[in-house]
């Protein structure tokens, strides 16, 4: 699909993040070349990739850096295996199957597999390594997920177990965050109704004064700046969404939020139904929107709502709308003057 016209930001990304001799990706590929002893050639049809994956990248400037970051994580995982003294048999098999007269080919493509991340596979028909992106992948894939996924893919690269078991097949016992993993074999884990309080079946409650040991969270890779979208996009497509409501006196209310569409709907709804003051020749309530200080578009992240007459401005309809319609959850409130809301489910 070489005839596809790529956006300017995508072309700039290819130039700066993919083809530039001193960019991080080229350094990773050079390191692999030195270890393998043969050139590592990346084969990518940018027109095809952009045509399929464009809906996932509303900000085109993040497209190439995201692809580059995933390929670099793959290269780092492969380098780690190639340098491991404990994996000599795997390394021998890898070199035997992948090295061709013109080096090692790696194709960046698309797959129909229903997975939530890019996969590393070996196509024996064309004798080429592949990094395949699933169609319709909706969520951003973080680097720690990429690293774990690619490590598992490489482990089973040349056998039929290349498809990893989904994460949902491994569960923690109910109530025991630090306990051993339990493989889901089709039986439901039912908490005990007669065992000691505070623990699952077979797990006694901790004695008084004894602190239960909780397994530490898995480490995560720090985000890469180039893969982060502009604020107005990032905060609209990533959760949590946050709303902060503050009351000033009896006539003024401020609503601040990270999710621009939520604020827009609040304003449009109440502006539609606000009553008109015939004596004042205007609305009883005015909405003042402040454009965000971040990003490139005219989206706003702050709304000032004020009452024009002597009546008190009742904040409860706004609070109810946030909870009932927008389905935000109240996290904290203080003295009837401030309310903090959070929503963890993404809007579509």
Q: Taking residues 67-76, report their average pLDDT.
A: 93
Q: What mean pLDDT, rounded, does the chain reach?
A: 81
* Whole-number pLDDT of residue 138: 62
pTM score, whole prediction = 0.59
* Whole-number pLDDT of residue 288: 87
Most confident of 103-107, 133-137, 166-170, 306-310: 103-107
Distance from C-alpha of 245 to C-alpha of 333, rounded to nearest angstrom: 9
Residue 87: what are its φ and ψ, rounded to 5°? -120, 35
User: Which of the four pLDDT bands, split at 50, 70 and 90, describes residue 212?
Assistant: low
* Whole-number pLDDT of residue 245: 96
pLDDT tens profile 302-328: 899 998 777 788 999 999 999 999 999
* Whole-number pLDDT of residue 192: 45
Closest CA to 315 of 344, 336, 343: 336
Q: Taking residues 146-169, report their average pLDDT.
A: 67
* Whole-number pLDDT of residue 205: 59
* Whole-number pLDDT of residue 112: 85
Token couple for 44? 């990518």
User: Which of the four pLDDT bands, split at 50, 70 and 90, describes residue 208?
Assistant: low
Supply the DSSP string of 4-63, one letter for each residue: PPPPHHHHHHIIIIII-TTSHHHHHHHHHHHHHTS-EEEEE-HHHHHHHHGGG-SSGGGH
Residue 167 has pLDDT above 60, yes or no: no
Closest CA to 75 of 112, 23, 127, 113: 23
Percent of residues, the chain, with pLDDT higher than 70: 79
Cα separations in angstroms, 225 against 61, 82, 222: 11, 29, 9
Residue 161: what are its φ and ψ, rounded to 5°? -95, 30
Q: How many CB atoms lie within 10 A of CB 312?
A: 10
Identify each DSSP E strand in 179-326 by its residue range. 182-183, 241-248, 252-257, 276-277, 282-283, 285-291, 300-307
Closest CA to 164 of 182, 173, 151: 151
174 vs 3, more confident: 3
* Whole-number pLDDT of residue 242: 96
Helix (H, G, I), strand (E, B) or coil at 92: helix
* Whole-number pLDDT of residue 86: 84
Residue 162 has pLDDT above 60, yes or no: no
Most confident of 72-81, 164-173, 184-193, 307-316: 72-81
Could you tell me whether strands 338-343 and 241-248 are parallel, antiparallel, or unpaired per DSSP bridges? antiparallel
For 55-92, letters b (16+ CB in 10 Å) and e give: ebbeebbbbbbbbbbbbbbbbbbbbebbeeeebeebbe
Q: Taking residues 15-29, report their average pLDDT.
A: 93
Closest CA to 182 of 167, 172, 197: 172
pLDDT tens profile 86-130: 889 999 999 988 888 788 999 999 988 877 889 999 988 888 899
Most confident of 186-195, 223-232, 241-250, 294-303: 241-250
User: Which of the four pLDDT bands, split at 50, 70 and 90, describes residue 33?
Assistant: very high
Residue 251 has pLDDT above 80, yes or no: yes
105 vs 181, more confident: 105
Token couple for 3? 């005839």
């Amino acid at each position: 699909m070489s005839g596809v016209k790529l956006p300017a930001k995508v072309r700039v990304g290819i130039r700066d993040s993919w083809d530039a001799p001193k960019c991080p990706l080229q350094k990773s590929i050079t390191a692999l070349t030195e270890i393998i002893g043969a050139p590592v050639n990346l084969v990518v049809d940018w027109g095809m990739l952009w045509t399929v994956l464009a809906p996932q990248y509303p900000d085109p400037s993040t497209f190439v850096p995201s692809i580059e970051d995933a390929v670099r994580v793959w290269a780092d995982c492969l380098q780690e295996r190639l340098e491991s003294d404990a994996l000599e048999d795997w390394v021998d098999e890898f070199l035997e199957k992948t090295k061709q007269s013109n080096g090692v080919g790696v194709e960046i493509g698309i797959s129909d597999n229903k997975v939530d991340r890019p996969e590393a596979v070996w196509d024996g028909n064309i004798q080429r390594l592949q990094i395949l992106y699933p169609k319709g992948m909706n969520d951003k894939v973080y680097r720690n997920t990429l690293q774990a996924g690619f490590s598992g893919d490489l482990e089973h690269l040349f056998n039929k177990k290349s498809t990893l078991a989904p994460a949902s097949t491994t569960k923690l016992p109910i109530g025991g965050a630090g306990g051993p993993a339990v493989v889901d074999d089709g039986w439901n884990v039912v908490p005990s109704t007669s065992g000691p309080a505070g623990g699952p079946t077979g797990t006694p409650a901790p004695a008084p004064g004894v602190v239960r040991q909780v397994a530490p969270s898995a480490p995560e890779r720090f985000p890469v700046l180039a893969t982060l979208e502009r604020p107005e996009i990032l905060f609209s497509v990533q959760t949590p969404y946050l709303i902060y409501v503050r009351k000033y006196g009896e006539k003024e209310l401020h609503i601040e939020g990270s999710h621009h569409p939520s604020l827009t709907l609040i304003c449009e709804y109440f502006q539609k139904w606000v009553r008109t003051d015939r004596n004042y020749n205007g609305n009883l309530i005015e909405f003042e929107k402040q454009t965000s200080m971040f990003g490139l578009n005219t989206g706003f992240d702050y709304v000032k709502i004020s009452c024009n007459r002597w009546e008190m401005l009742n904040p409860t309809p706004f609070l109810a709308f946030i909870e009932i319609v927008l389905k935000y959850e109240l996290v904290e409130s203080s003295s009837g003057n401030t309310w903090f809301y959070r929503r963890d489910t993404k809007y579509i």
